[in-house]
């Protein structure tokens, strides 16, 4: 019995220690999370105010339909429309925002006003995977290639490789990605007929699910958007990596390694790349946000069923809650990715933590 | 008296001439910025003098629909029989103005907020830090789309305001950081010790130190503005100005130009014009970067 | 150096792609056009549009199921507006009795997708949930217990009693029933709980509708009054109900769908199963017309509803030797009309002047090169219908304007406007600037309008209004962002009866955009808010309010109908509330190698770009118009007139 109590005590003490450690050692992290959540809600409210400025509203549109259907006056129809849609355009933005927050607490990111079947959760479930699929593919490839290119470009003094890479980065950073997408679509899909011109997969060829045929089909359909993103993103990563590498090149340990006669490609791989890549981790989040924000354009070029294309449709339809829901979710992802990137970075590099704690 | 005036005017002109020469020298110091600057000069030239060469009336013509390139129509005609080259030239002015105004407005906001929050600090600083944090967490293009449906975009200036609203935070943050580190540097400390005027410190000491940085940012913001405006036009959210490059692309996508055998020039012309212009901007900013920060030269 | 290399690479790519283009001359169809062909799978591949985010499993549940609604849900009787014929679908017969009642008998073998029979109470359920044009004329509706078993949920006979004071003609009665094309969309068995509640609710009400008191009526001769809220709540519950399969009864049922593709398969329970020849229908949703052209050219589409720019059409027909293009009147006219709330349109002179500004031939060329230019003003019904329903004398009375900018300038100056530095200023000396909102399908004519107005000296800002719901939503706003719109000035999507066009004009669309209710705050067309436009009767016997004529339009006999229609059309055109640009022509494109039974064989063997456009009274009109899937609501497919060439 006594043993048990001491054991318990020990266990509790340990638990307390860990909790304390989690709360205090990483308190900079908790503070950040707190700030992040606060920022998220504030930005949602900002968007909410913004959207209310869009002329016209769903309630009036719906009321017109009801007038037609039920032969009642517009005023009656409007009251009814408010009832059916559960949204009052005349209420104060704070009341509206509060009711939105309440539904948010129940896990509902937003409900379509004209279509009772549709919620932001559905759209995210259905369309987000496609956007994620394309942007993660593009991002990871361009990250891998770009960092390699960047370090080579910084390391090499002359030569074919450096010239080729430098020339490419200029072209790559001057073309907007969706314009390149359009060009590829025109040349490779319409003129040479090498790639499909629209959609995420061909339902008459493959059925969704875990099978090789479907996997090949979606990769085939995603090829052009991924290529267009990649071409531009790789150039960006090359530039960033080059900058980061140059700042490291002058440091003592590289000079020392050089002096010790360590082979060039080992210095390049083990010394330069490993250290220069660290600060780039935080940029991952920013790149992700850029791809995400630009997705309406790329997806409209390729008629790709991602969340960006759906977002443009909702803007035109004045689906307030859908717009807010999607933006809320996107911001949340961006903040989350940012947070993770920062934390990883600060865990790897304790100097950062000390500075910010 | 008269002589004085003349000599004074000559002096002023001389000074301006020297400044322009200085500027040109700066631009042509580096091969990259020389190329970039020439490209942009070329576009400015076209935007200013183009309309005098062609009398573009925008009238549609059924007879001239989808003409291949010829001597009358160097880049062919579009789906409504308008001359593609003339449209591109007519659209250049709008695009350049949008880019220029956006750069100007964004830099103004960004620099003012950046410097002031670095110098004033306290609650003021906290507020703007918070605000820019806020704006940075929401992707800007979707917001642009919403803004475009709210504000009637009719002229380049309104368009630039819309484009600037969400794009200043990154710059203001960077400026703030630079000013903060400058504040700690010796020569500013000395200035403060010497009890110099605040305005003197800001305009004579701080600004010149970040001027190069701001110039490069200005150019990059112009680049972003062009992408943004073309994108907005391409989605058809703003008021349609047929000769805007983005609107031309919108029409190419929606009126089946991809499919017409004769329409290669029509499809490719606006795409390559945009790419060429962007290329000029990137070259210019890269070149200036190399001029101002020679240590980046590996 | 290496960027040059890249540019060179691009140039090479471009030049490679030039090899692919050929400029052949389009000729006629060379193959033998009979039952045998390459379509062994018996599939029809075509274009469709539905809500990308998905739709509910029943017609009223939200989201638009697009093709599934056309091919999967039937009504009692189908009216084909182009042929002016009734086809009985779910109804076996409709008998109009002399005592002001009509007996609808439902087909013995009509079945829902799950095999349940379609019964009379299903139809009653539709009407207890929905208010339509028909319910305005109906006093009561009941299911007859024909088999005398005490319950009515297995009987096939529905008795409709018409209002004695507003009884339509026999033809109009069938027409009104047919106008509710989806009155077979509610299966009582599935939605029992809501419908039983509503039937009880209606039964519990004592207030009976009378001639003076039929406004605000809800269901079958009863005025709901303060119980209306209960009905609306129940209606919402009904909308939110989620059946486990799609509720329908048509020739095809849903196999699968995604954002961009939908597959329908033949319904094994369909009463006309043997007549339906296509086994599968595959629909593709496109966002870019470029892609439609590409798929047509490569033989991936069998039918497309559309008419393309002549250059694109020629290129298509020459790259795929099996394609044929049909063209026909659209029963719609494209033009420009005004938001009358904007002060600029107050002046009769300004409105008249605008009739003379435009070179309408050039706008036609821009908008639809195959269309026919019209020089008239807005007039409630499309020209092709006006030629049909008006006396020739009345039709000739409608003014034809001309392209005469001097005349326009004269009129504007008379109205107090002035022109300085090539720009027009209004009577108050303000620069004239117009916001033109156009529906996205009219991008082309809108741009022509813009360029002509700007050359005339009026600054224009063109706004893409998006698809029609969005555009309409903005256009009908009280403080609309548009001063005028480029859209259909007239359109009939309902039936070949003057009432169809008028319904579209006064109830559905144009009147809202015109803001005809300039004096009141309500919506035009509702009875408490009588819009007061008057027109003169052409025989000189005085003037009438359009609202009064329109309200009873289905009750007039032929002579009166022509008389009143003429008065409305001629009278309205004199107001110059809008400008017509062209009588729209629509088209269909088919792949001859896969689809059989298509009309005008002797023409497409000569030239596959058929430019012959029959007038509605020609016999060929019916044949050509039925190629449009929307005009006939799938008719030729469910009756086996079109079949796969296998």
Structure tokens given for C408 = 């326009």
Alpha carbon B109 to its chain's center: 15
Calculate mean pLDDT across residues C367-388. Answer: 91
Q: Is the pLDDT of residue C412 over 90?
A: yes
pLDDT at res. C351: 93
- To test the contact with chain B by mutation, choose from C313, C464, C466, C483 the residue with the greatest count of B C-beta atoms within 10 A, namely C464
Tell me the average pLDDT across C558-577.
Answer: 91
Per the DSSP assignment, residues forming a β-bridge with C609 are C325
Q: What is the DSSP letter of C490?
A: E
Q: Which of A123-132, A266-275, B15-24, C527-536 is the least confident region?
A: C527-536
What is the pLDDT confidence band of residue C338, given thresholds at 50, 70 and 90? very high
Q: What is the mean pLDDT of chain B?
A: 84
Q: Which among A64, A191, A305 has the least Cβ separation from residue C260?
A: A305
C64: nearest CA partner in chain A? A115
| Token digits of residue C537 | 């009767």
**Integer Cα distance of C109 and C107 in angstroms:** 5
Please give the residue that has the higher pLDDT: either A171 or B189.
A171
Residue B195: per-residue pLDDT: 76
Which of the residue ranges B15-19, B288-292, C522-526, C604-608 would you say has the lowest mean pLDDT?
A: C522-526
Predicted confidence (pLDDT) per residue in B164-199, tens digit: 988 888 889 888 888 888 877 777 777 777 777 777
Residue B25 has pLDDT above 60, yes or no: yes
Instruction: Compute the mean pLDDT over every residue in chain C, rounded to the nearest whole number.
Output: 84
- What span, in angstroms and rounded, lies between the C-alpha atoms of B174 and B212? 13
Q: How many Å apart are CA B141 and CA B153, to the nearest integer?
A: 16
SS3 C333: strand
In this predicted structure, the answer to whether residue C159 has a pLDDT above a threshold of 90 is yes
Nearest CA of chain B to the CA of A210: how many Å? 33
Closest CA to A178 of A302, A312, A286: A302
- Write out the two tokens for A15: 């638990």
| Binary contact (C290, B256; C-beta < 8 A) | yes
Task: Give yes or no for B165 touching C (CB within 8 A).
Answer: no
Asked if the model's pLDDT at residue C524 lies above 70, the reply is no
Select the more confidently predicted residue: C561 or C16.
C561
Q: What pLDDT, on a 0 to 100 scale, did the predictor assign at position A74? A: 61
Is B296 in contact with A246 (Cβ distance < 8 A)? yes
Lookup: tokens for C356: 């003379």
Contacts of C316 (CB under 8 A, 6+ apart): B259, C293, C296, C297, C308, C323, C589
What are the strands, taking DSSP E only, across C296-389?
303-305, 323-338, 372-373
pLDDT of residue C404: 92
| Average pLDDT value for chain A | 80
Residue C520: is its pLDDT beyond 50? no
The predicted pLDDT at position C12 comes to 56
Residue in the block written with tokens 């400008």: C579
Name the pLDDT band for C402 (thresholds 50, 70, 90): very high
Q: Can you give the pLDDT at residue C517? A: 65
Taking CB atoms and an 8 Å limit, are A47 and B134 in contact across chains? no
Partners of B234 on chain A (C-beta within 8 Å) are 178, 297, 300
B261 contacts C316? CB cut-off 8 A? no
Q: Does residue C557 sit at the B interface (CB-CB below 8 Å)?
A: no
Confidence band of A267 (pLDDT split at 50, 70, 90): confident
What's residue B6's pLDDT?
Answer: 84
Contact residues, chain A, for B137 at CB < 8 Å: 39-40, 43, 331, 334-335
Q: Render C76-88 in DSSP notation, one character per residue.
A: SEEEETTTTEEEE
CA dihedral for C632, C638, C639, C641, sign (positive or negative): positive
pLDDT tens for each residue of A126-142: 888 899 899 889 999 99
The pLDDT assigned to A228 comes to 93
Cβ <8 Å between A312 and B235: yes
Residue C323, strand partner residues = C591
Q: Which residue has the higher pLDDT, C511 or A340?
A: C511
Total Cβ atoms within 10 A of residue C340: 19
pLDDT for C200 beyond 60: yes
3-state secondary structure of C54: coil
Q: What is residue C9's predicted lDDT score, i.e. its pLDDT?
A: 61
Asked whether the ipTM of the predicted complex exceeds the cut of 0.90, the reply is: no
Count of positions (residues) in chain A: 357
**Buried-state track B18-55, b at ≥16 Cβ within 10 A, e below 16:** eeeeeeeebbeebebbbbbbebbeebeebbeebeeeee
Q: Looking at residues A345-356, what average pLDDT do you find? A: 58
Q: Are C448 and B60 inside 8 Å of each other by CB? A: yes
Nearest by Cα to C526 from A168, A64, A62: A64
Q: Which residues are C545's β-sheet partners?
A: C534
| Cβ-based contacts of C258 with chain A (< 8 Å) | 201, 203, 208, 305
Residues 211-230 of B with CB under 8 A from A: 226-227, 230
pLDDT at B253 exceeding the cut of 60: yes
Residue position matching structure tokens 């504007």: C412
3-state secondary structure of A98: helix
> For residues C511 and C525, is the Cβ–Cβ distance under 8 A?
yes
Nearest to C582 by CA among C294, C329, C247, C206: C329
Both tokens assigned to B235: 């989605």
> Chain B contact for C315, CB < 8 A?
yes
3-state secondary structure of A341: helix
Say how far apart CA A305 and CA C466 lie, in whole Å. 19
Structure-model confidence comparison of residues C81 and C438, the more confident one:
C438
Which range (A292-306, C196-210, C397-411) has the least confidence?
C196-210
B46 touches chain A (CB under 8 A): no
Contact between C71 and C270 under an 8 Å Cβ cutoff? The reply is: no
Residue C452 has pLDDT above 60, yes or no: yes
C-alpha B159/C-alpha C589 separation (Å) is 41
pLDDT tens for residues B47-81? 888 888 777 888 888 788 888 888 888 888 888 88
Q: Which residues pair with C337 in a beta bridge?
A: C485, C578
- Residue C40: φ, ψ to 5°: -70, -25
Using a CB-CB cut-off of 8 Å, the residues of chain C touching B261 are 21-23, 315
Nearest CB to B139: which of A153, A292, A316?
A292
Residue C602 has pLDDT above 90, yes or no: no
Predicted confidence band of residue C408 (pLDDT cuts 50, 70, 90) = very high
pLDDT at A68 over 60: no
Task: Report pLDDT digits (tens) over A11-21.
Answer: 888 888 777 76
**What is the structure's pLDDT at A67?**
61
Q: Which residues of chain C does A189 touch, with a Cβ-Cβ cutoff of 8 Å?
A: 294
CA distances from C379 to A194, C344, C384, C473 (A): 51, 21, 12, 23
Considering only residues 80 to 119 of chain B, which have any Cβ-Cβ distance to chain C shorter than 8 Å?
80-81
- Inform me whether the pLDDT recorded for C5 exceeds 70: no
Q: Give the residue from A115, A181, A155 showing the smallest Cα distance to A313.
A: A115
For C521-577, the three-class secondary structure string (H helix, E strand, C coil) is CCCCCCCCCCCCCEEECCCCCCEEEHHHHHHCHHHCCHHHHHHHHHHHHHHHHCCCC
Chain B: list its partners (3+ Cβ pairs within 8 Å).
A, C
Tokens for C182, please give them.
């989806």
Query: In chain B, helix, strand, coil percent, each to 5?
Result: 80, 0, 20
Closest-CA residue of chain C to B153: C461
B261 touches A: beta carbon within 8 Å:
no
Residues of chain B with Cβ-Cβ distance to A297 below 8 Å are 141, 231, 234-235
Q: Which of C289, C367, C431, C434 is the mutation pick for testing B, counting most B CBs within 10 A?
A: C289
Please name which of B262, B261, B270 lies closest in space to residue B234, comparing C-alpha atoms. Answer: B270
Distance of alpha carbon B264 from alpha carbon B72, whole angstroms: 17
Say which residues have a Cβ less than 8 Å from residue C544's Cβ, sequence separation at least 6: C534, C535, C537, C564, C567
Over the Cα atoms of chain C, what is R_g? Answer: 27
Q: Is the pLDDT of residue A332 over 60?
A: yes
Q: Which of B57, B260, B264 sits opposite C311 (nearest CB)?
A: B260
The answer to whether C638 and C88 have CB atoms below 8 angstroms apart is no
pLDDT grade for C525, boundaries at 50, 70 and 90: very low
How many beta-carbon pairs below 8 A join chains A and C?
Answer: 154
Best of B61, B246, B251, B260 to disrupt the C interface (most C CBs within 10 Å) is B260
Q: What whole-number distance in Å separates Cα of residue B56 and Cα of residue B94?
A: 14
Q: Which residues of C touch B63 (CB under 8 A)?
A: 365
Nearest-Cα distance to chain A for C68, in Å, is 17
CB atoms within 10 A of CB C424: 20
The answer, yes or no, to whether residue A356 has pLDDT greater than 80, is no
Measured between beta carbons, the chain A residues lying within 8 angstroms of C2 are: 163-164, 166-168
Q: pLDDT of B115-169, one tens digit each?
A: 899 888 889 998 998 888 888 878 888 888 888 877 777 788 888 988 898 888 8
Closest Cα partner for B169 from B132, B219, B129? B132
Report DSSP state, residue A46.
Answer: H
CB contact under 8 A, B258 and C290: yes
Q: B138 and A53: CB-CB below 8 Å? A: no
Joined tokens for residue B229: 């405006």
For residue C580, the surrounding DSSP H or E stretch is: strand C578-591
Output phi, psi for C545, to 5 deg.
Answer: -85, 135
Question: Residue C313 — very low, low, confident or very high, per pLDDT cuts 50/70/90?
Answer: confident
pLDDT at residue C522 in the model: 40
pLDDT band at C21 (very low <50, low <70, confident <90, very high): very low
Q: Who among B130, B295, B298 is closest to A154 (CB)?
A: B298
Specify the residue for token string 């390694």. A257
Residues of A in contact with C526 (CB under 8 A): 67, 71-74
d(CA B171, CA B102): 13
Confidence of residue C215 (pLDDT cuts 50, 70, 90): low
Contacts for B13 with CB less than 8 Å, ≥ 6 apart: none
pLDDT surpassing 50 at residue B298: no
Measured CA to CA, the distance from residue A229 to residue B263 in angstroms comes to: 26
- pLDDT on residue C217: 59
Are B148 and B162 in contact by the 8 Å Cβ rule? The answer is: yes
Q: CB–CB of B256 and C23 under 8 A?
A: no
> Could you tell me which residues are beta bridge partners of residue C265?
C253, C280
* Whole-number pLDDT of residue C106: 93
Mutation for testing the C interface, residue in A57, A66, A72, A179 having most C CBs under 10 Å: A72
Given a cut of 50, whether residue A293 has pLDDT beyond it is yes
Structure confidence at residue C1 as a pLDDT band (50, 70, 90): low
Which chain C residues are within 8 Å of B80, Cβ to Cβ?
366, 444, 447-448
Q: Examine the pLDDT at B8 and tell me if it is beyond 60.
A: yes
What pTM does this model have? 0.81
Q: Which residues pair with C424 in a beta bridge?
A: C419
Q: At what angle do helices C443-456 and C360-367 cross, to 10 degrees?
A: 150
- Tell me the chain A residues in contact with residue B32 when contact means C-beta distances shorter than 8 Å: 170
Rounded average pLDDT over C19-38:
67
Rounded to 5°, angle at Cα C228 from C224 and C229: 160
Q: Do A297 and B130 touch (CB under 8 A)?
A: no
What number of C-beta contacts closer than 8 Å exist between B and C?
105
Segment C105-133 shows an average pLDDT of 89
């Amino acid at each position: 019995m006594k043993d048990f109590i001491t054991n318990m005590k020990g266990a509790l003490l340990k638990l307390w220690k860990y909790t304390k450690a989690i709360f205090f050692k990483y308190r900079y992290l908790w503070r950040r999370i707190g700030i992040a959540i606060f920022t998220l809600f504030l930005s949602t409210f900002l968007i909410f105010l913004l959207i209310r400025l869009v002329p016209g509203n769903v309630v009036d549109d719906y009321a017109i339909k009801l007038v037609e259907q039920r032969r009642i006056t517009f005023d009656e129809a409007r009251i009814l429309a408010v009832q059916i849609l559960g949204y009052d355009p005349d209420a104060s933005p704070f009341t509206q925002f509060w009711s939105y927050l309440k539904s948010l607490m129940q896990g509902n990111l937003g409900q379509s006003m004209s279509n009772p079947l549709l919620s932001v959760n559905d759209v995210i479930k259905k369309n987000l995977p496609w956007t994620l699929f394309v942007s993660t593919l593009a991002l990871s490839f361009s990250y891998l290639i770009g960092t390699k290119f960047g370090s080579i470009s910084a390391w090499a003094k002359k030569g074919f490789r450096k010239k080729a890479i430098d020339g490419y980065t200029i072209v790559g950073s001057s073309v907007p990605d969706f314009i390149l997408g359009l060009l590829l679509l025109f040349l490779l899909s319409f003129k040479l007929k090498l790639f499909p011109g629209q959609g995420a997969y061909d339902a008459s060829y493959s059925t969704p699910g875990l099978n090789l045929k479907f996997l090949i089909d979606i990769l085939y359909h995603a090829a052009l958007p991924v290529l267009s993103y990649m071409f531009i993103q790789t150039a960006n990563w090359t530039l960033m990596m080059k900058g980061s590498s140059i700042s490291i090149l002058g440091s003592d340990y590289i000079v020392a390694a050089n002096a010790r006669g360590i082979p060039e490609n080992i210095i390049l791989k083990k010394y330069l790349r490993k250290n220069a890549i660290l600060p780039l981790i935080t940029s991952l989040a920013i790149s992700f946000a850029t791809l995400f924000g630009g997705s309406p354009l790329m997806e409209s070029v390729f008629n790709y069923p991602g969340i960006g294309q759906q977002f443009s449709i909702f803007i035109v339809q004045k689906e307030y809650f859908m717009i807010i829901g999607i933006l809320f979710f996107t911001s949340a992802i961006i903040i989350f990715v940012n947070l993770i990137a920062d934390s990883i970075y600060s865990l790897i590099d304790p100097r950062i933590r000390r500075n910010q704690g | 008296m008269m002589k004085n005036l003349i000599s004074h005017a000559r002096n002023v002109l001389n000074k301006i001439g020297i400044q322009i020469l200085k500027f040109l020298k700066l631009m042509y110091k580096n091969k990259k910025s020389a190329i970039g600057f020439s490209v942009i000069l070329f576009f400015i030239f076209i935007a200013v003098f183009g309309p005098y060469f062609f009398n573009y009336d925008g009238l549609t013509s059924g007879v001239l629909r989808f003409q291949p390139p010829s001597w009358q129509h160097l880049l062919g005609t579009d789906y409504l029989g308008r001359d593609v080259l003339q449209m591109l030239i007519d659209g250049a002015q709008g695009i350049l103005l949008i880019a220029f105004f956006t750069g100007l407005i964004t830099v103004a906001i960004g620099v003012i907020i950046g410097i002031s929050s670095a110098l004033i600090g306290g609650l003021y600083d906290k507020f703007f830090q918070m605000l820019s944090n806020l704006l940075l967490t929401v992707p800007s293009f979707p917001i642009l789309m919403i803004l475009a449906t709210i504000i009637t975009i009719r002229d380049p200036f309104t368009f630039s305001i819309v484009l600037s609203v969400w794009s200043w935070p990154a710059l203001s943050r960077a400026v703030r950081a630079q000013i903060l580190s400058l504040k700690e540097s010796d020569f500013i400390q000395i200035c403060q010790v010497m009890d110099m005027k605040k305005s003197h410190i800001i305009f004579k000491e701080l600004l010149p130190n970040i001027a190069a940085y701001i110039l490069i940012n200005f150019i990059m913001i112009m680049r972003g503005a062009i992408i943004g405006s073309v994108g907005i036009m391409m989605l058809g959210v703003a008021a349609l100005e047929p000769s805007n490059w983005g609107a031309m692309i919108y029409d190419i996508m929606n009126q089946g130009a991809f499919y017409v055998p004769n329409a290669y020039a029509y499809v490719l012309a606006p795409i390559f014009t945009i790419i060429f212009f962007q290329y000029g901007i990137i070259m210019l900013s890269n070149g200036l970067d190399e001029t101002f920060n020679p240590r980046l030269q590996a | 150096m290496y960027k040059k290399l890249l540019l060179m690479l691009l140039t090479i790519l471009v030049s490679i792609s030039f090899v692919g283009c050929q400029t052949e001359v389009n000729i006629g169809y060379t193959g033998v056009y009979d039952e045998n062909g390459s379509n062994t799978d018996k599939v029809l591949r075509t274009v469709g549009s539905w809500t990308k985010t998905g739709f509910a499993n029943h017609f009223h549940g939200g989201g638009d199921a697009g093709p599934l609604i056309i091919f999967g849900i039937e009504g009692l009787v189908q009216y084909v507006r182009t042929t002016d014929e009734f086809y009985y679908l779910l109804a076996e017969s409709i008998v109009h009795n002399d005592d002001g009642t009509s007996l609808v008998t439902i087909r013995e073998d009509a079945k829902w997708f799950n095999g349940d029979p379609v019964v009379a109470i299903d139809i009653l359920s539709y009407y207890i949930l929905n208010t339509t044009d028909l319910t305005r004329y109906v006093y009561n509706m009941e299911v007859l217990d024909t088999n005398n078993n005490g319950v009515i949920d297995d009987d096939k006979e529905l008795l409709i009693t018409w209002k004695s004071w507003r009884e339509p003609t026999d033809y109009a009665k069938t027409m009104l029933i047919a106008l509710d094309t989806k009155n077979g969309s509610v299966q009582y068995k599935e939605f029992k709980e809501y419908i039983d509640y509503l039937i009880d609710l209606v039964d519990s009400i004592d207030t009976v509708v009378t001639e003076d008191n039929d406004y605000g009526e809800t269901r079958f001769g009863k005025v709901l009054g303060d119980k209306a809220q209960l009905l609306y709540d129940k209606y919402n519950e009904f909308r939110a109900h989620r059946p486990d399969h799609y509720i329908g009864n048509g020739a095809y049922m849903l196999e699968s769908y995604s954002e961009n593709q939908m597959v329908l398969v033949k319904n094994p329970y369909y009463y006309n199963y043997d007549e339906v020849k296509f086994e599968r229908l595959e629909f593709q949703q496109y966002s870019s017309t470029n892609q439609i052209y590409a798929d047509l050219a490569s033989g991936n589409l069998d039918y497309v509803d559309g008419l393309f720019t002549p250059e694109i059409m020629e290129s298509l027909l020459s790259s795929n030797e099996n394609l044929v293009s049909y063209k026909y009147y659209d029963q719609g006219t494209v033009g420009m009309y005004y938001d009358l709330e904007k002060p600029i349109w107050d002046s009769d002179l300004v409105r008249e002047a605008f009739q003379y500004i435009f070179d309408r031939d050039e706008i036609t060329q821009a908008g639809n090169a195959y269309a026919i230019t019209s020089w008239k003003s807005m007039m409630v019904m499309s020209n092709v219908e006006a030629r049909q329903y008006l006396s020739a004398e009345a039709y000739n009375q409608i003014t034809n304007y001309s392209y005469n900018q001097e005349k326009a300038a004269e009129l504007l100056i008379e109205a107090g406007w002035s022109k300085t530095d090539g720009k027009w200023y209004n009577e108050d000396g303000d620069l004239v600037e117009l916001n033109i909102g156009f529906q996205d399908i009219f991008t082309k004519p809108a741009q022509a309008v813009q360029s002509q107005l700007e050359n005339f000296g009026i600054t224009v800002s063109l706004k893409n209004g998006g698809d029609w719901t969005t555009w309409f939503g903005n256009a009908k706003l009280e403080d609309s962002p548009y001063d005028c719109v480029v859209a259909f000035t007239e359109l009939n999507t309902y039936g070949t009866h003057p009432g169809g066009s008028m319904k579209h004009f006064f109830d559905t669309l144009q009147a809202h955009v015109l803001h005809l209710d300039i004096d009141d705050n309500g919506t035009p067309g509702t009875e408490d808010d009588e819009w007061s436009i008057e027109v003169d009767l052409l025989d000189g016997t005085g003037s009438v309010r359009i609202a009064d004529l329109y309200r009873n339009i289905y009750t007039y006999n032929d002579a009166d109908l022509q008389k009143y229609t003429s008065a409305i059309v001629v009278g309205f055109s004199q107001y110059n509330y809008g400008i017509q640009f062209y009588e729209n022509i629509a088209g269909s494109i088919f792949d001859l190698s896969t689809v059989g039974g298509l009309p005008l064989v002797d023409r497409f063997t000569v030239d596959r770009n058929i430019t012959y456009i029959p007038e509605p009274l020609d016999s060929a009109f019916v044949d050509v118009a039925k190629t449009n899937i929307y005009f006939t609501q799938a008719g030729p497919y469910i009756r086996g007139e079109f079949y796969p060439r296998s």
